[in-house]
A = this chain, B = another copy of it.
Amino acid sequence: MSQSPPSSSPSSPPTPTPTPSPPVVIRPCAACKILRRRCAEKCVLAPYFPPSEPVKFTIAHRVFGANNIIKFLQELPESQRADAVSSMLYEASARIRDPVYGCAGAICHLQKQVNELQAQLAKAQAELVDMQRQQANHVVLISSTIT
């Protein structure tokens, strides 16, 4: 026997209307899966932490914490969020690799390299000016010897 649809006759008790739950995506993003929470359709983390790359979220979460990542992303326009996630991942990886200096260590190293290169360039340019002066003297000397 087929089941009859729910009756709305006055004799039967009123059927409670089910509260509509927020739409749920079929596969949760890596962030929601790791945080063990429902991944809503408009999850702010989902576009940047796909289920196929759980390590990305683990790294960022370990350094910045999920709440901070969500807060940072919510404060930015959508067009800048992918870049913000990339830079956070870069920084978090550096902090895990070097827990004392992190990205600041890389900046310090690069700044030192810039200073050294600027000094080498200044020296090479001074040598060039000096040689140009010597060359001009030689040309004068050759001209005077020939004439």
Contacts and interface: CB of A to CB of B under 8 A. Distances in A.
**Dominant secondary structure of chain A at its interface with chain B:** helix
Interface string A36-58: 00000000000000000000000
B68 A80 contact: no
A59 interface: no
Interface stretch (A3-11, A16-24, A123-131): A123-131
Interface in A105-137: 105-107, 110-111, 113-114, 117-118, 120-121, 124-125, 127-128, 131-132, 134-135
Interface in A82-119: 83-84, 86-88, 90-91, 95, 99-107, 110-111, 113-114, 117-118
Contacts of A124: 121, 124-125, 128
A142 interface: yes
B105 A107 contact: no
Interface of A: 62-65, 67-68, 72, 75-76, 80, 83-84, 86-88, 90-91, 95, 99-107, 110-111, 113-114, 117-118, 120-121, 124-125, 127-128, 131-132, 134-135, 138-139, 141-142, 145-146
